[in-house]
Amino acid sequence: MADVAWIAVDWGTSHLRAWLMDRSGAVIERRQSDAGMGTLDRDGFEPALRALVGDALPAPVLACGMVGSRQGWAEAPYATAPCPPPGAAQAVQVPGLDVRILPGVKQPRPADVMRGEETQIAGYLATHPGFDGVICLPGTHTKWVHISAGEIVSFRTAMTGEMFSLLSTQSVLRHSMGTGWDAASFDAGVDQAISKPEALAASLFSLRAEGLLAGLNPDAARARLSGLLIGAELAAMRPYWLGQQVALIGAESLSRAYADALAVQSVPCHSAGVEDMTLAGLTAAWTQIYGEAA
């Protein structure tokens, strides 16, 4: 594969994605595997990368995500907010290989960290020059990020996605949960949590009790649980979104749920795709090393 100029890699806890790139900045091929960082010890990274893109090596590699954590392939120490999203100059090289890893961002107070999202943010800023405002990245650990003058000013993390997963599949609520969706129940959950966030702890078990006593529809129960948790998150993150425009970078259905919840609060949203922004962020950093594509 002589025409591969470089390889963009998004390497998270549970996934490994690679894009073979040509000199013009176009994607030749996209590949992925489930060799996420969480499944690998330190000696496992190079074989996992070779298994996915060995035929395109020794093209240089630029990666982002948990691969740069202390438990990853090579630690890329956090940049400290306020700061621009880290670029190529802060990338760490894996010893002996033409593989560079972009660092994450930390915030000392209140303590918070991100790894991978900073590259999506860089991609958003590269594709939306001059953007000032709030970026929300919904996911397992949703990030809310205040952007000004090209810098990550401050950010907070809510564990909403992980809470939803644990409560809907591991807790007593799993007995009352379907796999579908009910938009009105989602909206009702958001409204309930955002108007009375202090009552959340008493409202979760009701999903089980209504299932037992009133035959609550399992899809409605699942959507209301999601609404309650996202509503509680919005209550906590009010300083971020109040009176703002919000750019959402997340999976399509999850971003839509956040956009619906924010619309009720009269917050206009714009959505961008995770993979598009990741690739744009990696490309922006790549360009910092090797100059503009021909």
Q: Which of 90, 154, 157, 185 binds a second copy (CB under 8 A)?
A: 157
> Pattern of binders to a second copy over 231-250, x per CB under 8 A?
-xx-xxxx------------
User: By C-beta, is 169 or 288 nearer to a second copy?
Assistant: 169
Cis before 58? omega within 30: yes
CB of 81 to a second copy, least distance (A): 12
CB of 277 to a second copy, least distance (A): 22
Closest CA to 228 of 254, 200, 253, 249: 200
Q: Does 264 bind a second copy (CB under 8 A)?
A: no
Q: Which of 31, 128, 156, 256 binds a second copy (CB under 8 A)?
A: 156
Q: Which of 89, 202, 243, 266 binds a second copy (CB under 8 A)?
A: 202
Question: Partners of 92 in the beta sheet?
Answer: 101
Interatomic CA distance for residues 230 and 273, integer angstroms: 20
Q: Does 263 bind a second copy (CB under 8 A)?
A: no
CB of 235 to a second copy, least distance (A): 4
Q: Which residues of 104-126 are buried (b: 16+ CB within 10 A; e: fewer)?
A: bbbbeeeebbbbbbbbbbbbbbb
CB of 70 to a second copy, least distance (A): 8
* Cα torsion angle, 222, 225, 227, 230, sign: negative
CB of 225 to a second copy, least distance (A): 11
φ and ψ at residue 180, rounded to 5 degrees: -95, -155
CB of 69 to a second copy, least distance (A): 9
Q: Does 192 bind a second copy (CB under 8 A)?
A: no
Cis before 110? omega within 30: yes
Q: Does 15 bind a second copy (CB under 8 A)?
A: no
HSE on the CB side for 37, CA within 13 Å? 20
Helix (H) or strand (E) holding 289: helix 274-290
Residues that bind a second copy in the complex, under the rule CB under 8 A: 106-108, 110-113, 141, 156-160, 162-163, 166-167, 170-173, 197-206, 208-210, 212-214, 229, 232-233, 235-238
